[in-house]
Chain A
């Protein structure tokens, strides 16, 4: 059971906009910034969003992040087949004194 709660799956058709939620508590998301990672099949995770809504260079602006209270969301617009991957949210937890990850959301492009 992960500290951060994500839906196990999401799906969309090419060109569509999809959102993935990440729910936590005051000890983690409520007091710290959220990061999002993309893991394509058989590869290492890749940083998509840090500090709630910052994109590293090279990440398309189709990917955006937001946070409100103890929840965060990743939005992907103009969905493409290559976006099919697992997506994880993560943040620091002040009670556990460590990083916590969501359980991951498997995105399928129909």
Chain B
């Protein structure tokens, strides 16, 4: 059974940084691309970033490009999202997700971690 456990969320001031982690189990982590998707309070889903299985290629939404960095450690079965220059509009639940195939097709989701950007 696929299990994805996010951690690292919390309260951070505007302009601050935070690193999210996602511990994966139940599948061969190094064989799959991985994604981050977020959901602002009371709003819809917004894709944030994706990374290929080897980590060699990364993809970002325009809203986070240049501020967020996705990475992975296949030896630790862990996905990361380094978030810098955080803004109030980055406040959201951040979900780690595993695609069924490809980079982003048919995502299986973790339970999410809440990031609140506020002074």
CB distance from A79 to the nearest CB of B (A): 23
Question: Which residues of chain A have C-beta atoms less than 8 A from B110's C-beta?
Answer: 44
Question: Among the listed stretches A9-17, A19-27, A67-75, A92-100, which one makes contact with chain B, having 4 or more residues with CB under 8 Å of it?
Answer: A92-100
Contacts known (A96-B62, A99-B35); A44 close to B109, Cβ less than 8 A:
yes
Q: Which chain B residue shows the least CB distance to A48?
A: B106
Q: Contact string, B84-119, partner A, CB cutoff 8 A, digits 1/0?
A: 000000000001000011011111111110000000
Q: Which of B35, B45, B105 contacts A33 (CB 8 A)?
A: B105
Q: Which chain B residue shows the least CB distance to A86?
A: B44
Q: Report whether B100 and A56 are in contact in the complex, using a CB–CB cutoff of 8 Å.
A: yes
Q: Report whether B59 and A98 are in contact in the complex, using a CB–CB cutoff of 8 Å.
A: yes
Q: Which of A45, A51, A54, A100 contacts B95 (CB 8 A)?
A: A45
Q: Report whether A56 and B106 are in contact in the complex, using a CB–CB cutoff of 8 Å.
A: yes
Question: Which residues of chain B have C-beta atoms less than 8 A from A102's C-beta?
Answer: 44
Q: Give residues 22-70 of A contacting B (CB, 8 Å).
A: 33, 35, 37, 39, 44-47, 50-51, 54, 56
Q: Give residues 37-52 of B contacting A (CB, 8 Å).
A: 37, 44-47, 50
Q: Does B60 contact A (CB under 8 A)?
A: yes
The CA-CA distance from A92 to B106 in the complex, in Å, is 11
Q: Report whether B112 and A35 are in contact in the complex, using a CB–CB cutoff of 8 Å.
A: no
Known: A90-B47, A92-B103. 6 other contacts (CB 8 A): A35-B106, A44-B112, A56-B106, A88-B44, A98-B47, A99-B37
A residues apposed to B, CB below 8 Å:
2, 33, 35, 37, 39, 44-47, 50-51, 54, 56, 88, 90, 92, 96-104
Sample of 12 A–B contacts (CB below 8 Å):
A37-B107, A47-B108, A51-B105, A54-B106, A90-B45, A90-B104, A98-B50, A98-B59, A98-B61, A99-B50, A102-B44, A104-B45
B residues apposed to A, CB below 8 Å:
35, 37, 44-47, 50, 59-62, 95, 100-101, 103-112
